[in-house]
Amino acid sequence: MFGSESRPSIFKVRYSTLDNTKGFDLAVSKISRHPNYSSATVDYDLAILTLEAPFTPSNTAAVIALAEKTPSEGTLITVTGWGRLAAGGAYPTKLQKADTLKVMSRAECASIWVPLGASITEQMFCAISKTQSSCNADSGGPATHNGLLLGAVSWGSSSCLHATHPNVYADVASLREWIVDQIL
């Protein structure tokens, strides 16, 4: 998504809405991709978008705290986004929420993905549900728990909802120092 050809001016951040045809748009003035990002392994899969103007917090748009610890195995996370409803499917206009995703250990996640040629690193965590999933175009979206930003949607099965293959998220706790350096 953020190749060397990316220009901040082509991005906008929409906020304060559950309907992607409404709300407020803010222009992006700068994109800071993690310097260790690897397109081969999708490691360090995080970028910071700097807005041209501040947004106004309200009961529909707020600032979220960054997690200080990687979520533990069994934690239920919530992922929201306007990505596809199914692999190859339609895009919704209403914000979607998946809240039955359960974090699994890195070791268990690696035992599933590594034989298929993927890497599971310290900058990632995995979660799975048999009934809900993030999907194409949810990338970069928030993975939260109890008012904390735990991660950002990174990658997963091309079928989106897969009974045995978890989705993978950029781990905010392991990337927190870099995030804080970018926003201060």
Return d(Cα 125, Cα 135) in angstroms, integer.
Answer: 16
Q: Which residue among the candidates 45, 129, 154, 174 is catalytic per the annotation? A: 45
Is 25 annotated as catalytic?
no
Torsion, Cα 12 156 62 51, to 10 degrees, reads: -30
The gap from C-alpha 48 to its chain's centroid, in whole angstroms, comes to 12
Return d(Cα 137, Cα 145) in angstroms, integer.
Answer: 21
Return d(Cα 128, Cα 95) in angstroms, integer.
Answer: 20
- SS3 (DSSP) at 113: helix
Q: Which of 106, 111, 84 is nearest to 96 (CA)?
A: 84
Is 139 annotated as catalytic?
yes
Q: Which residue among the candidates 133, 134, 139, 157 is catalytic per the annotation? A: 139
Give me the residues paired with residue 151 across strands.
143, 171
Exposure of 181 by Cβ count < 10 A (0-12 exposed, 13-18 middle, 19+ buried)?
exposed
Active-site annotation, residues = 45, 139
